Amino acid sequence: MNTAPFAPDRVRRATAPPRAGTQAGRMARRALAAAALVPLLAQASADAPRCGDALGTGVARGESKRYVVAWRADPSPIVVSRHFALDVVVCAKAGAAPAMSLRVDATMPAHRHGMNYRPTIAATGDGRFRAEGLLFHMPGAWEFAFDVTGNDGTERVRAPYELQ
Question: Tens of pLDDT along the chain (164 residues)?
Answer: 555 555 555 444 445 555 666 776 565 555 544 444 444 333 444 455 689 999 999 999 999 999 999 999 999 999 999 999 999 999 999 999 999 999 999 999 999 999 999 999 999 999 999 999 999 999 999 999 999 999 999 999 999 999 99
**Is residue 121 domain-resident?**
yes
Whether residues 82 and 35 share a domain: the answer is no
Whether residues 81 and 120 share a domain: the answer is yes
Range of the domain at 19: 8-45
Quick one: pLDDT at residue 42? Answer: 39
pTM over 0.75: no
Q: How far apart are CA 44 and CA 66, in angstroms?
A: 9
Whether residues 28 and 70 share a domain: the answer is no
Whether residues 61 and 120 share a domain: the answer is yes
Quick one: pLDDT at residue 9? Answer: 54
CATH of the domain at 156: 2.60.40.1930
Whether residues 27 and 56 share a domain: the answer is no
Q: How far apart are CA 70 and CA 43, in angstroms?
A: 17
SS3 category, 130: strand
**Is residue 3 domain-resident?**
no
**Is residue 38 domain-resident?**
yes
Cβ count near 121 (within 10 Å):
16
Whether residues 130 and 62 share a domain: the answer is yes
**Number of domain units in the chain:** 2
